[in-house]
Amino acid sequence: MSKPSLPRGTRDFGPEQMVKRTFILTTIRSTFQRFGFQPLETPTLENLSVLMGKYGDEGDQLLFKVLNSGDFAGKLTPEDWTADSKQITTKIAEKGLRYDLTVPFARYVVMNRGTLPFPFKRFQIQPVWRADRPQKGRYREFYQCDADVVGTDSLLCEAEIVLMLHESLRALGIADFTVKINNRKILTGIAETIGAAGMEGPLCVAIDKLDKIGKEKVIQELHERGFTPENTQKLDPIFNLSTEEQPFDLLRNWLADSEIGRKGLDELEEIWTLVEGFGLNSPQMQFDVTLARGLSYYTGAIFEVKANGVQIGSISGGGRYDNLTGTFGVPGLSGVGISLGVDRIYDVMEELNLFPENQSITTHLMLTNFDREAELYGLKIVKAAREAGLNTEMYPDAVKLKKQLDYADRKQIPFVLLIGSSEIETGLLTLKNMKTGEQTKASVNEILKLVKAYLEPQINI
């Protein structure tokens, strides 16, 4: 008999982890809703025709393809087996697991555009899959929390994304973070300025790796992608630009001959102006001209969020995409969005010990069970406690008290209600505080008030 195991890059989440993950998801969901976003879900499987070509060559390689059901290779010819992998893939796999939530969202918008209110603001919280090499902070199955606006090119949307990021992360207790911002138009302008017009795609893919592989290897990769030594020599200013005090002014001089580059700078400066107009307290924003975001569909502002002081990659990313719905036959619908990575946020909060102490509490009150009479007597109390907003359970078996208290202790249940013959006779029940060991005799109503008063500062009842 084989030993059970999990696929690499996937994980189980027990109750202790799930209550913490639920805290993250609830916090982010409530923030999205405050900004007017509506919920949406799309299928786990998408047709490969929807997914392929939207993430660049590297992204396509990370798609999990699902073999066609039945004899998937039955119609292949000997010539098919000698073809390259892309050609044979289209014949044996028609579907794939979603790589992100943005492309399925664009597909949904195109299919339902006749019934949607535009601008359409949606949030989506679901798992995605990538055939990546598992490592710390990088998994093959992970949750994303996306918020997108489609149907407007107003930069007010970008400014609100900055606000949502600040509000979500601060509500989670992550105080030390940086929202890095750039604009793809600036990178297009840089490509023009260094004499490599039209090569902004490979430029972005290489520049996006700067934090991971360093300047020298980025330049080496650019040469491998067709850039000349003269091109990369002219690229020198961007490697030190993010440390300058007035990067916008310096870039305006450098990109003076690039109309699209100047437009990108105008857009970024407008975002800063709008965020300031919102009155965001102590904005944690940083312009980073080397930020590229490798996904090929971004066309305007791009975002990335780093949690400072931890060795984990970005915890959020996103940007403006003007042409994504155009790939599905509906051009002209501009959109912008952000995605927060639940799994990386969880790891950050674990490392920094940011989860509230009460997150492990799933049951607030447990009733003991000594015999049939006590069980029947307690049923109405369980109902009353639940109606009062307390998560309540009764121990299901009439066993020794020690076993019942051990169970409550292992589940970190803060209060246990002891119901014996004397309690039933007098109507005064015994409430045991599992943390202090203190016991209190009182009526049912008084006990429910005591438990709620103790817990209300820590939980929402």
Burial class (CB in 10 A: 0-12, 13-18, 19+), 206: buried
Cβ atoms of 263 and 276 within 8 Å: the answer is: no
238: closest CA among 205, 269, 193, 172? 193
Residue type for position 446: E
Any binding-site annotation on 208? no
Any binding-site annotation on 146? no
Q: Which helix (H) or strand (E) holds 314?
A: none
- CA pair distance 293, 217, nearest whole angstrom: 18
Any binding-site annotation on 148? yes
Name the token pair of 30: 């409530």
Any binding-site annotation on 458? no
The 8-class DSSP code of residue 328 comes to G
Cβ atoms of 386 and 375 within 8 Å: the answer is: no
Cβ atoms of 10 and 140 within 8 Å: the answer is: yes
Any binding-site annotation on 101? yes
Name the token pair of 336: 């912008």
- CA pair distance 30, 12, nearest whole angstrom: 25
Any binding-site annotation on 55? no
Q: Please list, residue by residue across 398-411, b when 16 or more beta carbons sit within 10 angstroms of its beta carbon and e when fewer do.
A: eeeeeebbebbeeb
Q: Which helix (H) or strand (E) holds 234?
A: helix 229-234
Any binding-site annotation on 144? yes
Give every CB contact of residue 287 below 8 A, 6+ residues apart in sequence. 180, 181, 182, 242, 247, 248, 268
Sign of the four-CA dihedral 120, 174, 317, 290: positive
Q: Any bridge partners for residue 417, and if so which?
A: 367, 431
Name the token pair of 459: 């939980």
Name the token pair of 80: 């098919």
Q: Which residues are annotated as a binding site for L-histidine?
A: 100-102, 130, 144, 148, 293, 297-298
Q: Which residues are annotated as a binding site?
A: 100-102, 130, 144, 148, 293, 297-298
